[in-house]
Amino acid sequence: MWTDLERQLRELAGEYGQEHIFRYWDTLDTGARARFLEDLARVDFPLMRRLAETWILNTPEPEHFSDIQPIPVIPAEPEDPAAVAAGEDALSRGEVGLFLVAGGQGTRLGFPGPKGCYPIGPLTGKTLFQYHAEKIRNLQRRYGCVLPWYIMVSETNEAATRAYFQENAWLGLAPDQVYFLRQRMVPCMDDHGRFLLEAADRLAMNPNGHGGCIPAMKEEGVIQDARDRGVRWLSYFQVDNWAVKVADPVFLGHHVLRNADMSSKVHRKNDPREAVGVHCLCDGDYRVIEYSELDLYPQLLETDEAGNLRFFAGNPAIHVISVDFVERLNAHYDEFPWHVAHKKVPCLDDTGALVKPDRPNAYKFETFVFDALKFVSHPPVALEIRREGEYTPTKQPEGVNSVAASRQSMADYWGGWLEKAGWTLPHDAGGHVSVPVEISPVFALTEREFLDRAPEPRTVNSGVVIEADGSTRVN
């Protein structure tokens, strides 16, 4: 005997050509059936058919812009005193919150847990989450405020992330200032636009991208919570960037003074074909063109007479977003473009066996937060940054944006502070600091703060750790 929900979902699946997902229904116990129906009830079947018809069953025409221009960029140095004052005032008044995208797993790093739990500290084993929390603690001490921390997790890592914070005393923060929200999941589809099964009672799903933070903030109560706390602006960043300047007063201040809806930090691309998106003005709208689309717009590879890249503004995924703008965006989320990737996704074959494919077999769909720039009412701020000490993502075990590269950036960045304070450190043939260095952001968040409090100079030939209380350990 079918329940009403089962009948409704079977009819829906049949209407949209997905009746195969009930293939193993008779093998499921009562609990598994209930969970499966609960998951299916959250699937937007019309949306998935539209995505399949657009991206899988047909060859879509790429969006084309007739006029593309570089965006105006504000140099980060020298610091604008008015911007600094405005940002510090916003922090002191408690008008700033933090929004962290942390839905990923550490799979590519060979780590069996949430990416934010990865022990990036070479000597201390501090996690990515911990480094971000220590920055928050410093800012709260400095500005006498509480910074609510909204952490967007996914279905795959929510339980482990919550457990990590609880088991580690909330990383020195108050439990009521850490707010977890879950982003939506969307089904993966095969070459025929059919849903894949991860197990007999579970669809193969993927998070709906960092653009999913827009509906998630409304659905999960973040907008209301922020308003209740008096928060007007959100400092947005991603968990894999250990170096990010959380709630940077300079950046916040430019955003506040401009009365912007959404602002972005940008960095100079190392190479015309570097795999980062590019901030541009496209037919008058602020947009980010993905690196995969560079060949559609050859002007993005052009240099000027001095040999400098005209479109240099790479996207490090660091933003300030006004809470009012997030609320308005929810009326436009259905207009966000979807981005597709062809990936290898383990799934059940026709015999019910789990297959781990050796080539891409599934399409994953995501929305991106930077597509919100199209909907701004006021010109965004684009603030140029140096990568050192601001942007070093940890995405893979080796090569560019690797664990080793992140740890080397720590050594060079914090080692530079030590050397300015009179310390002597060894260097390799390439001029890089050749011993690991870690300085707790609780002790010092900026070079200026460190030099005011630096321990007595030493000559060292091994790793250096400076803890939150200033105690120094040479390994």
> Would you tell me the crossing angle of helices 128-143 and 81-92 to the nearest 10 degrees?
90
Q: 252 and 338 share a domain? A: yes
For the residues 338-342, what does the mean pLDDT come to? 93
pLDDT digits (tens, 9 = 90+) for 234-268: 999 999 999 999 999 999 999 999 999 999 999 99
Q: Residue 105 falls within a domain, yes or no?
A: yes
pLDDT digits (tens, 9 = 90+) for 269-294: 988 888 899 999 999 999 999 888 88
Q: 91 and 219 share a domain? A: yes
pLDDT for 351: 87
Helix, strand, coil shares, percent, the chain, to 5: 35, 20, 40
Domain containing residue 221: CATH number? 3.90.550.10
The pair of three-digit structure tokens given for residue 37, joined into one six-digit string: 């129906």
3-class secondary structure, 88: helix
Higher pLDDT, 442 or 300: 442
Out of 385, 418, 436, pick the residue that ends a domain. 385
Q: What is the pTM of this model?
A: 0.95
Higher pLDDT, 385 or 64: 385
Q: 30 and 80 share a domain? A: no
Q: Residue 349 falls within a domain, yes or no?
A: yes
Cβ-contact 395, 247 below 8 angstroms: no
pLDDT for 188: 97
pLDDT digits (tens, 9 = 90+) for 305-321: 888 899 999 999 999 99
For the residues 22-27, what does the mean pLDDT come to? 94
pLDDT for 474: 93
For the residues 414-431, what does the mean pLDDT come to? 97
Q: 9 and 103 share a domain? A: no
The C-alpha atoms of residue 300 and residue 281 are separated, in whole angstroms, by 12
Q: Residue 394 falls within a domain, yes or no?
A: no
Query: Longest Cα pair distance anywhere in the chain, in angstroms?
Result: 79
Out of 385, 413, 433, pick the residue that ends a domain. 385
Q: Give the rounded percent of residues in the chain with a pLDDT score beyond 90.
A: 88
Beta strands in 22-169 (DSSP E): 68-70, 74-75, 96-101, 149-153
> What domain range is 28 assigned to?
4-41
CB atoms within 10 A of CB 457: 12
Q: 121 and 167 share a domain? A: yes
Q: Residue 208 falls within a domain, yes or no?
A: yes
Least confident among 66-80, 123-137, 320-334, 453-467: 66-80
Q: 253 and 151 share a domain? A: yes
pLDDT for 475: 85
In this prediction, residue 147 has a pLDDT band, given cuts at 50, 70 and 90, of very high
Out of 358, 385, 412, pick the residue that ends a domain. 385
pLDDT at residue 130 greater than cutoff 70: yes
Q: 111 and 251 share a domain? A: yes
Q: 100 and 138 share a domain? A: yes
Q: Residue 51 falls within a domain, yes or no?
A: no
Q: 158 and 234 share a domain? A: yes
For the residues 353-382, what does the mean pLDDT come to? 95
For the residues 355-362, what does the mean pLDDT come to? 95
Domain count, the chain: 3
Q: Residue 58 falls within a domain, yes or no?
A: no
Q: 26 and 86 share a domain? A: no
Q: 369 and 435 share a domain? A: no
The C-alpha atoms of residue 323 and residue 96 are separated, in whole angstroms, by 10
In this prediction, residue 1 has a pLDDT band, given cuts at 50, 70 and 90, of low
Q: Residue 49 falls within a domain, yes or no?
A: no
Return mean pLDDT, the chain. 95
For the residues 85-93, what does the mean pLDDT come to? 98
Cβ-contact 262, 317 below 8 angstroms: no
Q: Residue 63 falls within a domain, yes or no?
A: no
Q: 35 and 76 share a domain? A: no
> Tokens 């060894």 correspond to what residue?
426
Q: Which of 147, 122, 152 is nearest to 136 (CA)?
A: 147
Strand arrangement, sheet containing 437-439: 437-439, 464-466, 472-474
For the residues 24-32, what does the mean pLDDT come to? 94
The C-alpha atoms of residue 468 and residue 475 are separated, in whole angstroms, by 17
pLDDT for 2: 67
pLDDT at residue 62 greater than cutoff 80: no
